[in-house]
Structure 1
Amino acid sequence: MNRRERRATAARQSGRTSPAALCQAGFAHLRSGRIAEAELCCQRALTLDEQHSDALHLLGVLCFHAQQPDAAVEWIGRAVQQAPKAEYLLSLATVLERQDRLEDAWQHYSRALSLKPDDAGLWNHIGDLLWQLGRMDEAARHLQQALKLNPHYWEAAHNCGMLLLELGRHAEAVECFDIAERLNRASAALHQMRAVCLSALNRFDEAEADYERSIALDPSLAETHNNLGLLHWRFGRLEQAFACFDRALALRPDFHAVLNNKAVVLLHLQMLDEAFAALHRSLAAAPDDAQTLFYLATLQLLTGDFERGWAAREARWRLPSVGLVDRGFSQPLWRGDRPLEGKTILLHSDEGLGDAIQFARYVPMVAALGARVILEVEPPIQQLLGGIEGVEQYIGRSSTPAFDLHCPLGTLPLAFATRLDTIPLAQGYIPAPPATRVKTWQDRLGPRDRFRVGLVWAGNPDHKNDHNRSMPLRTLAPLLDCDVQFVSLQKGVRDQDRAFLADHHDIVDLTQHLTDFSETAALISCLDLVISVDTSVAHLAGALRAPIWTLVPFNPDWRWLLERDDSPWYRSMRLFRQTTRGDWASVVDEVRVALEGQLSARRSRLVEPSPTPSAAPVPAAATA
């Protein structure tokens, strides 16, 4: 028995014990595990003063230890009413947190924090609680304040780094992980998380070093091998990438995310059988995994298995990485499974502009089933697609019309059970632009004395596959010697291309007038040919029935299929494919040869003399 406990015992024995002394002795007994003695002290204190706040608090704490949380809340709550001390507020908040009453717990922790504003541990704990409540920005501020109060607080630095990583604030997260790493250099998980942030910041050499350090500290973390494999894959180090994936799978054979990554690499190499095998193995480990189903759908559609591909592709709605937003409509989703006669259906864009143009071909088919069609697409293509047959109203996302059913445009191929041989309206479906608008573009372009070719060399830089599908403008330089009037259709010229474009006046650039896709359609109508990488302009030209040559990377988007130079989606399209990953030069050479062939045929038609009509035969003289 320590000195404090001996004094309390002496006070009780002398009959001079106060409630405060009894509570002090009770907490001493509690800390030493003597629960019965603590309860006795508490009862005696409350007998002397039934409203004594320390005694009420002690009784609440004893109830909590006895796994009576409701009673604990009641007694500690009474103590708070008597005297809202930080100690009582923290006890009450702790009990509420254990009951998963997180919002109530937060309120009491916050009151305690107002009494103890310099308590770094309390700032850290509240930050963690706010994180659980989904109040991420507030949580980050609390964790940062904990670290400010105590710059050597490893837990706060680690927690703050993890939260900032989740928020995508990678540079700030790295700063926190740097602090944590200085305080504990032996954490493999910390090096792994910092590497993730560094990779997101394009600091790839540092990321690779951190992954390697993490593996050296703990080679049993399959996630680290997987992430390092992805980094190797990004830079084309295929042998190292596969080795990393295989090490991860040796540690966790059913690690479906690694199997998915391996399948994607195999797909990019067009090792299709192996990619299918990896995905089926992944599905065996996680049968309803949305990412696996989406990858499988991509592979099925790429190989022409539309029947299974469309169905599996619906998994895209469960993928945050795809960026689709479930609109939460109360009206039913239409998938071709119910009559449309007399119904109003909202058809809404769910992916990119090119996807919306591609799948807008189904709008007349929906209208033909007796539906009134409302079409909701992004502003740049509203006017363009609003002219498609069957559209009764076209709107933007901010409008709230009344409708009975809805269907995303990307789900329409599934609704109509589209097969490779039943793709509708491949001959074109967007109405020709108004003659007045085309005339305006003809006037801008001037006399039509040469073959006119539109050029698009890059897509949206934010697209996840942009590094594969886009090219620098200078890559097309071999085409510029052809006797052609080239016309830029490229919106959003990148810095690396701006100087080249300015130095080549033989490329007409009137793109400042391309305010939406209706204007682009009118300009395309003034051209003889469009040459484009895989962008929305390629879809637009195909939907207009305009001649379009599309330049496709070695690993193509699913819609361009494999090993063919035509597209079943657009009859006027010709495909030029990379035969080696990343090799655009040979594709451009092939395009140049084809373009020279077009020009030669055109010149032959222009110089070929018109056939001279032969003299009419003189009728023979009538004989008697």
Structure 2
Amino acid sequence: MNRRERRAAAKQSGKVTPAALCQAGFAHFQSGRIAEAELCCRQALTLDAQHADALHLLGVLCFQAQQHDAAAEWIGRAIKQAPKAEYLLSLATVLERQGHLEDARQHYAKALILKPEDAGLWNHLGNLLWQLAHRDEAVLHFQQALKLHPQYWEAAQNCGMLLLELGRHAEALKCLDIAAELNPNSAALYQMRGVCCAEVNRLEEAEADYERSIALDPGLAETHNNLGLLHWKWGRLEQAFACFDRALKLRPDFHAVLNNKGVVLLHLQLLDDAFATFHRALAVAPNDAQTLFYLATLQLLTGDFDGGWLAREARWRLPSVGLVDRGFSQRLWLGDQPIADKTILLHSDEGLGDAIQFARYVPMVAALGAKIILEVEPPIQQLLGGITGIEKCIGRSPAKPPAFDLHCPLGTLPLAFGTRLDTIPFAQGYVPAPSTTRVQAWENRLGPRNRFRVGLVWSGNPNHKNDHNRSIALHTLAPLLDCDVRWISLQKGVRDQDRAFLSERPDIVDLTEHLTDFSETAALMGCLDLVISVDTSVVHLAGALGAPVWTLLPFNPDWRWLLNRSDSPWYRSMRLFRQPKRGDWTSVLDDVRRELDGMASAWRSRQHRASLLPA
């Protein structure tokens, strides 16, 4: 406080007061005269050591000088004198800067009690709760900020970002719509909105948002990546690669983009380029589970089982795969120790088809002298329970399994036995044939065998990540349905778009209501001459039984079917019919029709010859 200001303050009050000194100190602070402001505060405290405003202002000055401990002490003393919202906010800010987030939260909350209509405070506390991982509570704070101030774009954007992180995409879109209207020049905002639109299948809007984001800021590599994924989903391969390459030009070490580009190359069967891209991704992140899993898929697809089985174990670190680590205290068996007289739990870890495929290893484990508990999903429990060497077969459930010494997931058994292409066991079949009684029950349902019988499956689990490539709409199979065969549906869970077509085809026998589990499906297969199916668990069942099965494969098949071959080393009774190019089911069905006509004709000839033999 200079002499003139002191005289003015004295003239107003008759003497220099702490309040007048604080007022002058605040004026100095606002004007950037920090030293003068501090002098006024200390003079005020000389007159009144407990003057709250002076204590607070001195704490603020210390905070500005990066003296955080001193700031917290001065402001804390002010709060003891007068717990004003202003003081509480200042101390919360200091504590937040110091990293004492929980203490800061408590002081913000106290300030909010005193200023419940302050939208900015609700928004700020929401951000802090987000940092503390109290995400649902943070959403409520952002929403309250918007309720108090509907045009508060920052709160709208924060709420949208957090809802996006929580996977609540429809709610996030509402917030991002508000933010976009209030702040239409934010590239990051349109990028987030595009992600939400893509997640709720509003793909045209997503594309428009990504393009607008790029127009506002072409330097956001994430947006180019997201747009590339959208093009890939639509089958626009050239545009997808262009987007990925633009993203990599901006960020050469953008690991997610390298993974995405590698996957597209894999789907196109540009295998050398895919290998190179995944290795480039591993150079950036050597232990990344997603890259290792993609690389394992590529290795197994090309027959490199030695490297593929080991890399495939990265699946346990991928939430997207949906595997659950059971947390067993018992040791994982990887074929690296004797197991004679030990009890080992072999447990399913992926889908039903995977469990059927890898159950072939059970007799090999039993041959090492182990007592085997097999744990699988209930629909396949009875089917697999009869495999040689199983002491007990139990259904997969949250309940604790019986006591055991070691364990191994079924999908890890190929690694444990060091499986190579030429050592795949039991390709001729390993699941016991269904009982004669069960088969006869299905023969009775089907009636006289007067035509070649073919079981048919056209779609798999709609939640499977590759379902859009592997499943076929039933009406697409119309060219096959005119063959002179008797079609028997093995299709469980008929989709709405297929149900009407199926109801108009009385030539497709549908007794699937009696297929209560896979043992019943196996018994029905015992009455059939052939099974034709897309890549589902049914083909594994047929192969495991040694029943004739034709598998219809998309251009980019699952790794287990390998490439460029019409047979499968996993199942000797299986033939593979592959798309020659992406989406080309017509060529596949033409090949199947031709082969099926030949088989049906040969069957009729055999039946005719048999009818001519003397009784």
TM-score scaled to structure 2, two decimals? 0.91
Partner of residue 398, structure 2: 398
* d(CA) in 2 for partners of 1:194, 1:146: 20
CA offsets, 1:120-149, max 9 Å, x none? 111111222222222222222221222222
C-alpha separation in 1, matches of 2:461 and 2:509: 21
Deviation at 1:385, TM superposition (A): 2.8
Residue pairs, 1:155-194, within 5 angstroms: 155-194=154-193
Partner letter of residue 291 of structure 1?
A: Q
1:242 Cα offset (Å): 2.2
Secondary structure of the equivalent of 1:571? coil
The answer for the alignment partner of 1:226 in structure 2 is: 225
**Residues 434, 74 of structure 1: CA spacing in aligned structure 2 closer, same or farther, 3 A cutoff?**
farther
Alignment partner, residue 543 of structure 1: 544
In 2, Cα distance between the equivalents of 1:222 and 1:340? 52
Aligned partner of 1:473 in structure 2 is 474
Confirm or deny: 8 A CA contact 1:530 1:549 kept in the other structure: yes
Does structure 2 retain, via aligned residues, the 8 Å contact 1:351–1:410?
A: yes
Please show how residues 43-82 of structure 1 align to structure 2 within 5 Å.
53-54=52-53, 57-58=56-57, 60-61=59-60, 64-65=63-64, 67=66, 69-70=68-69, 72-73=71-72, 76-77=75-76, 79-80=78-79
Counterpart in the other structure of 1:260: 259
Structure 1 residues 262 and 61, CA gap change in structure 2 (3 angstroms): same
Match of 2:524 in 1: 523
Q: Which amino acid aligns with 2:195?
A: V
- CA deviation map 1:556-594 (0-9, x unaligned): 111000111111111111111111211112211211222
1:607–1:395 Cα change, 3 Å: closer
Deviating more after overlay: 565-574 vs 93-102: 93-102
Structure 2 CA distance, aligned partners of 1:406 and 1:458?
Answer: 33
CA distance in 1, matches of 2:565, 2:5: 90
Give the Cα–Cα distance (whole angstroms) in 2 for the partners of residues 576 and 524 of structure 1. Answer: 20
Q: How does 1:178-577 map to 2 (within 5 A)?
A: 178-391=177-390, 392-401=392-401, 402-577=403-578
Give per-residue Cα distances to partners, 1:515-563, cap 9 Å, x unaligned. 3223222222232221110011111111122211110111111100011
The CA distance in 2 between the partners of 1:394 and 1:78, in whole Å, is 66
Preserved CA contact (<8 Å) 1:8 1:25: no
| Aligned amino acid, residue 428 of structure 1 | G
Paired with 2:76 and 2:193, the residues of 1 have a C-alpha distance of 43
1:609 to 1:385, Cα distance in 2 relative to 1, 3 A: closer
Distance 1:197 1:498 in 2: 32
SS at match of 1:608: helix
* 2:472 alignment partner, SS class: coil
Residues 375-395 of structure 1, C-alpha deviations (whole Å, 9 max, x = no match): 333333233333333332424
C-alpha distance in structure 1 between counterparts of 2:365 and 2:182, whole Å = 63
Residue 8 of structure 1 contacts residue 21 of structure 1 at CA under 8 Å; is this kept in 2? Answer: no
Which residue in the other structure is 1:594 paired with? 595
Structure 2 distance, partners of 1:324, 1:48, is 69
Shifted more, 516-525 versus 430-439: the winner is 430-439
Query: Contact (CA 8 Å) 2:376, 2:393: kept in 1 or not?
Result: no
1:37-48 superposed matches below 5 A: none
How far 1:611 moved relative to its partner? 11
Measure how far apart 1:157 and its partner are.
Answer: 1.6
How many residues get paired? 612
What's the secondary structure of 1:567's corresponding residue?
coil
Output one character per residue of 1:587-610: Cα deviation in whole Å (capped at 9) or x when no partner.
112112222222222222223369
Structure 1 runs (4+) deviating above 4 angstroms are 1-9, 11-16, 20-83, 609-613
Change (3 A) 1:35 1:328: farther
CA displacement at 1:306 relative to structure 2: 0.5
Matched residue type, 1:419: R
Superposition deviation, residue 433 in structure 1 = 2.9
- Tell me by how many angstroms 1:207 deviates: 1.7
Structure 1 counterpart of 2:99: 100
Residue aligned with 2:454, SS: strand
User: For the Cα contact (< 8 Å) 2:163–2:171, is it kept in 1?
Assistant: yes
Residue 245 of structure 1: CA displacement? 2.2
What SS is found at the alignment partner of 1:146? helix
Letter in 2 for 1:457: W
304-313 vs 481-490, which moves further: 481-490
**1:207-226 CA distances to partner (integer Å, 9 max, x unpaired)?**
22222222222222222222
**Does structure 1 retain, via aligned residues, the 8 Å contact 2:341–2:370?**
yes
TM-score norm. by structure 1 comes to 0.89
Q: Which amino acid aligns with 2:575?
A: R
Answer yes or no: is the 8 Å Cα contact 2:452–2:604 preserved in 1: no
Cα deviation digits, residues 169-218 of structure 1 (max 9, x gap) = 22222222222222222222222221122122222222222222222222
RMSD across aligned C-alpha pairs, in angstroms? 3.0
CA drift at 1:83: 4.4
Query: Identical aligned pairs, as a percentage?
Result: 78
In structure 1, distance between residues paired with 2:104 and 2:377: 44
Mapped partners of 1:151, 1:4: distance in 2: 47
Give the distance between the partners of 1:538 and 1:8, measured in 2 at CA.
95
Contact 2:381 2:393 in 1 (8 A): no
CA distance in 2, matches of 1:234, 1:252: 23
Structure 1, unpaired ranges of 5+: 614-624
- Name the counterpart of 2:125: 126
Give the secondary-structure state (helix, strand or coil) at the position aligned to 1:532. Answer: strand
Quick check: 1:380–1:517 contact (8 Å CA) kept in 2?
Answer: yes
Deviations 1:67-101 (A, max 9, x none): 55456555545554554432233233223322333
Q: In structure 2, what is the Cα distance between the partners aligned to 1:515 and 1:79?
A: 74
The alpha carbon displacement at 1:353 in A equals: 1.8
Q: Deviations over 1:286-329 (max 9, x none)?
A: 33332222221111111100101111212222323323333343
Q: 1:58 to 1:217 in 2, by over 3 A?
A: closer
Secondary structure of the corresponding residue to residue 487 of structure 2: strand
Preserved contact between residue 9 and residue 15 of structure 2 (Cα < 8 Å):
no
Q: Within 5 Å, give how 1:16-27 maps onto structure 2.
A: 17-18=17-18, 27=26
Match of 2:141 in 1: 142
The answer to whether the 8 A contact 2:261-2:277 is kept is: yes
Gap change, CA 1:115 and 1:589, over 3 Å in 2? same
* Contact 1:130/1:139 (<8 A) preserved: yes
C-alpha change, 1:535 and 1:11, in structure 2 (3 Å) is farther
Residue 4 of structure 1 contacts residue 25 of structure 1 at CA under 8 Å; is this kept in 2? no
Residues 142 and 406 from structure 1, CA distance in 2 versus in 1: closer, same or farther, beyond 3 angstroms? farther
Provide the C-alpha distance between the structure 1 equivalents of 2:119 and 2:610, rounded to a whole number of angstroms: 92
